[in-house]
Structure 1
């Protein structure tokens, strides 16, 4: 599993202009089995995506395809994560 940690580098007005495309990208990748969970950081300085993909190269390429990254309103850090424990309902984190 990979955690994609997005950090906004532009005003929220610019982020919001790309929000519809970003949400479509999230939903498409969820439908294709890549994204297990996502959400905003609090305060709203970026977001987190939990992704299940084949390896780091694929995770980095996927992160680079985010409309927020392409549009230059966010940066992304890709972290590989292996859960050694996941509670009930979070079994996908162990993948």
Structure 2
């Protein structure tokens, strides 16, 4: 499982122009069964994504395809988590 932060950089002003393409990138991640959650870092610091069902190298490639990353709107940081304890509702994450 992975936790990805997408923190705004100096290119933040380009975000509105790229928002539609960024949202399409997020939709592909959900449609492909990779993304579990996406949302904003508060207050207005960028975004975060929880991903699973992929390898780190595949995820790195996917993240580079995010228009926000490609155009320098955000910088991405990937944290890999090996779940040891989970609520039963999230047991699938241990697989």
User: Which TM-score applies when normalising by structure 2?
Assistant: 0.85
Count of aligned pairs between the two proteins: 95
Q: Cα–Cα, structure 1 residues 62 and 53, in superposed 2: closer, same or farther, change >3 Å?
A: farther
Name the counterpart of 2:8: 8
Q: Distance in 2 between matches of 1:63 and 1:31?
A: 15
Partner in structure 1 of residue 32 of structure 2: 32
Alpha-carbon distance in 1 for matches of 2:70, 2:26: 14
Residues 36 and 92 in structure 1, CA contact (< 8 A), matched pair in contact too: no
RMSD: 1.8
Match of 1:64 in 2: 64
1:48 Cα shift? Answer: 0.6
**CA 1:86–1:16: 2 relative to 1, 3 Å:** farther
For residues 21 and 90 of structure 2, the distance between their equivalents in structure 1, rounded to whole angstroms, comes to: 27
Normalized per residue, which structure has more helix? 2
Stretches of structure 2 that go unaligned for 5 or more consecutive residues are none
CA shift, 1:62, in A, is: 1.1
Other-structure match for 2:47 = 47
Unaligned runs of 5+ in 1: none
Match of 1:23, SS?
helix
